[in-house]
Structure 1
Amino acid sequence: MSNSRYETYETHETYETYGPAYAGPVYGGFDAPPADLHSAETLGHGTPGAYADTYRPAYEGPTLPGLPRQGAPDDGPAPGSAEQPGRGPGAHAGSRAAARTGAHRRSARRRKARYAERPDSPMRRLLPQALVVAFLAGGTTAFVAKDKAIELNVDGKARTLHTFADDVTELLAEEGVEVGAHDVVAPGPGTEISSGDEVAVHFARPVRLTLDGHRREIWTTAHTVEGALRQLGVRQEGAYVSASRSRRIGREGLALDVRTERTVTIMADGRARTVRTNAATVREAVEEAGITLHGQDTTSVPQGSFPRDGQTVTVLRITGGKEVREEPIPFQVRRTEDPDLFRGTEVVERAGEPGLRRVTFSLRSVNGVRQKPRRIRSEVVREPRPQVVKVGTKPRPASVRGADHLDWQGLAACESGGRPDAVDSSGTYGGLYQFDTRTWQALGGNGRPQDAPAAEQTYRAKKLYVRRGASPWPHCGARLGG
């Protein structure tokens, strides 16, 4: 019994109000003094032995001496008798009135004398005990009704406790057990509890699980790796687990990598090999199948990828080499305006020169089939030189007086076959009318005659005819008809 129980019932030990009621003859006319009730050792604490006789059970009372006869003149009526001469209700009322008006001493001496004359009756001795038992019985009944014996299991550690809590939430708060959103409480929070119930709390633990290449965050109430995998329904036979299955999972959690056993088919060198594997990469699965990759050999899926259940992987045997080729780089043409040239006239001032590029190609065959060459490297050996061309902007003259009526087409056909870019075998004369460079430039032409338009060549030929006649063309001049 706890001290709180004593404290609860000490508030009921105020017996003063009952003192006057027992001043008269109660239970056979025995007047118990109020001091006996106030000083009774009702709850097991006080002065030991001071009132041992008062609480001695009736069947343990001492053998009483011979009592005076009820009719003796000196002793008065025997205790416990129904009739007591000279002690009627009026006498009792008079004694109580005397006690209230100041005759306390006389009443006390009279009571003392009666105590000396009369032995204590069993009923009078049991009266204080009966009152105390009545108070204790009522309080104990309320205490027992509220107190509950509960078995509390917190993360596998069970203990039995007594509580006044009405439901699971109050019980956990009373015991200082904090639960989170992922923790499991059975029965659930708020459930009413009664004596004999069991309450279990399972704390959840965070696990960063990578299962067959897929990562996710989970919570588990299992205490070991094996228990967590069982909760998740992970097939453990033949699986790779990054931690021991018997390892305990603390409240702080852990990171776990699990690879279940899968079936993978490897196609290589015309054969199919099926293996059961928990490999982390396709390369590992290929090696477990007893296949070795050489040189440029690869697989139909990335070798670092995760092999899936039922997947087929083809090994690609690659052979080949390199080939170097030279390619020309075309030159650019830059045109500049020249006001000294007639419109439509273009003169190449500087000829262009192509560049040179060296290109390296990869040649390979996959499983015996030749593939298209693939360019892997390119470098410039020689930069191209651009070509510079002058473009005339000068307005072209309408005609040359005294020469327009001549047959210039006939002369051109005789001299060059009618080709504006014609050049004789010596390289000295060129164009429709086979000008030499010095004569051409003396007539106002730029560059070489064979590079000028046909209209400009005809115009320069007319100017030459006006100056010198048909003499510049000794063999074909007669074609002019002039």
Structure 2
Amino acid sequence: MSNSQGSHRAARGSRRAGGRSPAEAGADRATVQAPAPSSAAPYGGGASQQTVVDARAAAPRTAAYAPTLPYLDRGALSLVDPDAGAAPSGVVPPRHRAAVAQAPTLPYVDLRAADRAVGEEPGRGARARRGGSRRRRPAERPDTLRRLVPQALVVAFLAGGTSAFVADDKAVLLTVDGVPRTMHTFADDVSELLEDEGLDLRAHDIVAPGPEADLDSGDEITVRHGRPLRLTLDGRSGEVWTTATTVEAALRELGVRAEGAYISVPRSTPIPRSGLVLDVRTERAVTFMADGRERTIRTNAATVGEALGEAGIVLRGQDTTSVPPGGFPHDGQTVTVTRITGGREVREEPIDFTVEKTLDPELFTGTEVVVRQGRPGVRRVTYALRTVDGVRQKPRRTATDVVREPVTERVRVGTRQPPSSVSGADGLNWAALARCESGGRPGAVDPSGTYGGLYQFDTATWQSLGGTGRPQDATAEEQTYRAKKLYVQRGASPWPHCGRRLYR
């Protein structure tokens, strides 16, 4: 390694540590300012031989601060006055301009004094001046030296800087999102390289090797930017991050089976860093049970209804499915189709009337008299008929309309206690008479409907004896009581065929 290379790396390490390198301190000591021109010196100024030697010795030390320049413009470099500043920035890379601004400038050299000093032999200063007229070289020599001295200093300056430039340059392969690029860099680690290239790393980005890794020539650096995917996969939505640059690569990275799948955008669509909205429906096996048959299809349909269409199954009328038609069909799912036929039926049905009973103290206990006959009403009922897969279901009432209102029946109920006996008729065989007339049945009525009860009263006779309503509606006790009263009035004549049984 050359002295200039070592000085350059030492200076860089010292600057990172926050201090000054030895080369910087040495350069400060090596810088020599030319003395002010003297009136005694020829050509209007002068510099001692020691001044020229120090200026030449300072050039190699100054090179340790010079930037490494890949291309040199000789016209841009010259020996200038210390007040003139540094070299033009147009030939210095932007990242090294700060270093150039801090580098010490070359000392000012008076070329006429340098020519005179070089023309003298070392160790013979005074004597050479006394005999200078005899030993002076031809007139064109000062012009030649005037050209050679600055060129020598520039060559010494560039020799050290170029060596450091060659030693610090690295050739690396940078691949960003799958695009490789070979480049040269002066960066010491990966993060510095990425910063120089304007690559900002975010939370979901990947860089290999890591940002803190040191750089050497021949290294390969890979950068993959994270991209958000607002993904709806088989009906479920969410956001995922991927470093893939295309939809097809992202699906492969996420482990999504794309064969036979529905994808909302072409697979070759690039994914920008801002993200992409993506809908994916993978291919699934769905089984349908319909019309006594089982059908299994592979589909990427979005709804059960759409999958039914692909299976060639048509829903009609009130047909239903075990899964809502708008639901998402999952892999391995079985969907049952129920065939439903329906109709309507209207029926007229009776409405039962109510019975209203009123207590009547004029009637004997156990006697009920119907004041108004009840009458049932009529209503019209509509039923929905339903047949499921050929099986008739129980009709379901859907509407009711009253055609005729029912009439309430009114009944009088006796509360009076009947007398226990009738004088002149208590000792007769009334049971035998009742068996002969009606078979002993209180509600018996003859075929003509004229006579009723135990003793076959006609209605007019019954009511004349104080009875109400019809005789067959009264209790057996009341009928016997009324029959005894009739016997007291008319004897056994009301019963011409059975009256004789009263005396047995």
* TM-score between the two structures when normalised by the length of structure 2: 0.55
User: What 5-or-longer segments of structure 1 have no aligned partner?
Assistant: 77-118, 120-125
Question: Which of 416, 431, 434 is equivalent to 1:412?
Answer: 434
State yes or no: 1:431 paired with 2:431: no
- Cα contact 1:148–1:194 (8 A) shared by 2: no
Q: 1:260 aligns with which of 270, 275, 283?
A: 283
Deviation of the 1:258 alpha carbon: 1.5
1:22-78 CA-partner distances (Å, limit 9, x unpaired):
99xxxx99479x9999947785379xx9955379xxxx98882234865968979xx
Identify if the C-alpha distance between structure 1 residues 220 and 417 changes in structure 2 by more than 3 Å, giving closer, same or farther.
same
Q: Give the Cα–Cα distance (whole angstroms) in 1 for the partners of residues 126 and 189 of structure 2.
A: 67
Give 1:408 shift. Answer: 3.4
Q: How has the CA–CA distance of structure 1 residues 230 and 427 changed in structure 2, closer, same or farther, with 3 Å as cutoff? A: same
In structure 2, C-alpha distance between the alignment counterparts of 1:73 and 1:13, rounded to whole Å: 39
Percent identity among equivalent residues? Answer: 35
Aligned match of 1:95? none
Taking the aligned partners of 2:183 and 2:481, their CA distance within structure 1 comes to 127
Aligned to 1:447: 469
- Residues 68 and 75 in structure 1, CA contact (< 8 A), matched pair in contact too: no
| CA deviations over 1:286-311 (Å, ceiling 9, x no partner) | 6556x575966968756836556566
- Among 217, 240, 263, the residue aligned to 2:262: 240
Q: Quickly say closer, same or farther: Cα 1:282–1:43, change in 2 above 3 A.
A: closer
Structure 2 gap ranges (5+) = 1-7, 9-14, 36-47, 59-80, 89-100, 131-144, 146-151
Question: Structure 2 matches for 1:346-385, cutoff 5 A?
Answer: 346-348=368-370, 349-353=372-376, 355=378, 357=380, 362=385, 366=389, 371-372=391-392, 374-375=394-395, 379-380=400-401, 382-383=403-404, 385=406
User: Using the alignment, how far apart are the partners of 2:123 and 2:182 within structure 1?
Assistant: 67
1:167-182 counterparts in 2 under 5 A?
A: 177=200, 179=202
- In the other structure, the counterpart of 1:103 is none
Could you tell me how far 1:155 is from its partner in structure 2? 9.8
Q: Residue by residue, what CA displacement relative to the aligned partner does 1:255-302 show, whole Å, maximum 9, x if unpaired?
A: 5142415475777687x766554445566556556x575966968756
Aligned to 2:69: none
The letter for the 1-side match of 2:391 is Q
1:331: Cα distance to partner? Answer: 0.8
| 1:399 counterpart residue number | 420
Aligned residues: 407
Letter in 2 for 1:217: G
Change in 2 beyond 3 A, CA 1:191/1:31: closer
Q: Partner of 1:66 in structure 2?
A: 120
CA distance in 2, matches of 1:453, 1:263: 78
Structure 1 residue 417: deviation in Å?
1.9
Cα separation, 2, equivalents of 1:393 and 1:71: 174
Residue of structure 2 in register with 1:217 after alignment = 238
Look up the match of 1:206.
Answer: 229
CA shift for structure 1 position 209: 1.3
Q: Match of 1:53?
A: 109
| Residue 87 (structure 1) aligns with | none
2:248 aligned counterpart, secondary structure: helix
Partners of 2:189 and 2:213 within 8 A in 1: yes
Secondary structure, aligned partner of 1:226: helix
Q: Corresponding residue for 1:329?
A: 350
- Between 1:62-71 and 1:227-236, the stretch displaced more is 62-71
Once residues 445 and 169 of structure 1 are traced to their aligned partners in structure 2, the CA distance between those partners, rounded to angstroms, is 128
Q: Does 2:67 align with 1:44?
A: no
CA apart distance, 1:219: 1.1
Q: Deviations over 1:295-341 (max 9, x none)?
A: 669687568365565667788888x8858574633514333332335
Equivalent AA in structure 1 for residue 238 of structure 2: E
Task: Answer 1 or 2: which has greater helix percent.
Answer: 2
Judge conservation of contact 2:205–2:225 (CA < 8 Å) in 1: yes
Distance 1:312 1:206, change over 3 A: closer
Q: How well do the aligned residues superpose, as a CA RMSD in angstroms?
A: 6.3
